[in-house]
Amino acid sequence: MNATSGAVPHGHETAPYEPVFVGPALSKLEALFAQYPTKQACLLPALWMVQEARGWVSEPAMAEVADVLGLTPAFVKGVVTFYTMYHLHPVGRHFIQVCTTSPCGLCGAEDVRDAILEATGCEELGRTSPDGRFTVIEVECLGACGFATPILIDDDFIESVTADRVPALLEGYE
């Protein structure tokens, strides 16, 4: 499930594309080439680098990655769209993933999800809050079922979240 853009403006389509892989980022990617027998194997790492730099993976970014790795843009798009963690649209400043798969669902994960939607003002899953602060999605099994309900806020993995803890948890994320 990929997030759709909400309040984030759509001006990105017309702005000239600034390449990601120049200077230190290009050197970092080239250093990865030695770790694999093919350049193509650097595709997932390269896409992670794009997302870290830009917050999402745009079509021009896919074309750039294709160029750097000697692939076609169509192939790169096929890979990007297969994996759920690459954003196909801009998301809020903080990206929240709530696990609601069965083991957590049995322990109240849906209440946690609803509390997060309410506290962030996102209203529905995949939508960005009007202030651009948060985007919230449901994620399938985060692999921490003994610590229901786990959530990810950006790269922060938070265990044992209950609905009443939600407002305090969000405080540090501006």
| Residues near other proteins, by CB under 8 A | 1, 35-38, 40-45, 47-48, 69, 71, 78-79, 82-86, 97, 100-103, 105-107, 139-148, 152, 155-157
Q: Which residue's CB is nearer to other proteins, number 45 or number 132?
A: 45
The CA-to-CA distance between both ends of the chain, in Å, stands at 24
CB of 100 to other proteins, least distance (A): 8
Q: Which residue's CB is nearer to other proteins, number 17 or number 83?
A: 83
CB of 14 to other proteins, least distance (A): 28
Q: Which residue's CB is nearer to other proteins, number 53 or number 85?
A: 85
Q: Which residue's CB is nearer to other proteins, number 18 or number 31?
A: 31
As to burial, measured by CB atoms within 10 angstroms (0-12 exposed, 13-18 middle, 19+ buried), residue 59 is middle
Residue 167: C-alpha distances to residues 19, 25, 115, 120, 173 (Å): 38, 37, 8, 9, 11
CB of 13 to other proteins, least distance (A): 24
User: Which one, of 26, 80, 76, lies nearest residue 51 by Cα?
Assistant: 80
Largest CA distance in the chain: 50
